């Protein structure tokens, strides 16, 4: 039997050994772990002109940049359109007729034709009355009545012509158009008009034929800008081979891109606007982004042509521009 004093001595030795092992283990574990560095906020220099990120700065992971100015980049300007009228062969004779997208347009054109005939008739009658008045066969009253009739017919004719032109049609050209001609009307943003001129070739894709492309010619640009949509009507003539296209069909017009040789194209979401000025951010060195003011050209919802402020080869921020905008301008 072990004496109680020896038991106490053994217990103390075991406790001391256990405490020693715990201290050594804690020390080893503490020395093996490294405390992660605290994230460093982005640093804003020169009143927002330059933004510097450290390797572990919050938000750096969402900022992506890409080199611009690579071959094949362009802006494809598109605008909605609809087929408003087309020629069609008559079943009764050899002459062609015109089919419109609505009964209202058809009534306008019929009214235009009647007004034109009435005006021609009243003008011939006026010439006859003038000749008769010259030879004292007609009275001055007859002459005044003939002149009044011409004025009234001119006003009616101008009214019908003006209504047709307001929807984009030129009634004088409809009658002279060759067979298989169709006209579509496109609503083009006024900002794109400088890139579109009469006679330009355009491409047209109809919703009914999404895999086929038609080529058309811009015949005329409207004189008025819609005060609500800020668009201008453009009339485009295309060849309706086989009479497959029907009035009322919807389409998309693709206008030829107009990008200068020194300009570049970037994603539209790379641009931030502050107080009417446009800016982009360029990564000149790793994790350092510089703010640049740019001048924009033609654009779509996805891409925009930059005329001034960038050069080919620049690394422009294509994701995370909103974050940089907040850091640069303080909001």
pLDDT in tens, 251-277: 998 876 655 556 788 888 999 999 999
Residue 94 confidence (pLDDT) above 70 = no
Q: What pLDDT score does 178 carry?
A: 84
Residues 133, 127: Cα–Cα separation, whole Å: 10
Residue 76 confidence (pLDDT) above 60 = yes
- φ/ψ of residue 321, rounded to 5: -65, -30
Residue 93 DSSP symbol:
S
Answering whether pTM is above 0.85, one says no
Average pLDDT over all residues of the chain: 83
Count of alpha carbons within 13 Å of 148, Cβ hemisphere only? 6
- Domain regions of the chain by residue span: 43-74+261-329, 97-174, 179-256
Task: Render pLDDT for 114-150 as a digit per residue (tens, 0 to 9).
Answer: 999 999 999 999 999 999 999 888 899 999 999 999 9
Residue 22 confidence (pLDDT) above 60 = no
Fold of 179-256: Elongation Factor Tu (Ef-tu); domain 3 (2.40.30)
**3-state SS, residue 276:** coil
> CATH classification of 97-174 is 1.10.287, yes or no?
yes
| CB-CB neighbours of 328 under 10 Å | 23
Looking at domain 43-74+261-329, its CATH class is mainly beta
Residue 137 DSSP symbol:
S
- Give the residue with greater pLDDT, 49 vs 40: 49
């Amino acid at each position: 039997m072990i004496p109680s004093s020896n038991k106490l001595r053994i217990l103390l030795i075991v406790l001391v050994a256990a405490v020693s092992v715990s201290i050594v283990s804690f020390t080893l574990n503490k020395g093996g772990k490294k405390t992660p560095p605290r994230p460093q906020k982005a640093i804003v220099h020169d009143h927002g002109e330059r933004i510097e990120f450290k390797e572990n700065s919050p938000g750096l992971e969402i900022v992506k940049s890409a080199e611009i100015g690579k071959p094949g980049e362009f802006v494809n300007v598109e605008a909605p359109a609809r087929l408003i009228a087309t020629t069609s062969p008559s079943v009764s004779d050899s002459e062609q007729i015109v089919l419109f997208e609505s009964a209202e347009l058809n009534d306008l054109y019929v009214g235009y034709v009647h007004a034109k005939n009435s005006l021609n008739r009243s003008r011939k009658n006026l010439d006859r009355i003038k000749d008769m008045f010259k030879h004292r066969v007609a009275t001055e009253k007859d002459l005044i009545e003939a002149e009044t009739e011409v004025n009234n017919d001119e006003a009616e004719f101008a009214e019908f012509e003006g209504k047709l032109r307001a929807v984009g049609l030129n009634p004088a050209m409809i009658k002279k158009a060759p067979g298989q001609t169709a006209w579509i009307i496109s609503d083009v943003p006024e900002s794109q008009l400088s890139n579109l001129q009469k006679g330009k070739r355009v491409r047209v894709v109809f919703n009914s034929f999404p895999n086929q492309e038609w080529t058309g010619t811009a015949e005329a640009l409207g004189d008025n800008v819609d005060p609500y949509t800020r668009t201008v009507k453009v009339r485009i003539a295309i060849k309706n081979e086989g009479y497959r296209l029907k009035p009322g069909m919807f389409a998309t017009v693709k206008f030829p891109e107009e990008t200068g040789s020194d300009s570049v194209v970037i994603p539209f979401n790379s641009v931030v606007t502050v107080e009417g000025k446009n800016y982009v951010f360029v990564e000149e060195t790793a994790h350092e982004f510089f703010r640049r003011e740019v001048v924009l050209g033609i654009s779509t919802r996805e891409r925009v042509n930059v005329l001034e402020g960038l050069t080919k080869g620049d690394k422009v921020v294509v994701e995370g521009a909103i974050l940089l905008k907040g850091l640069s301008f303080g909001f």
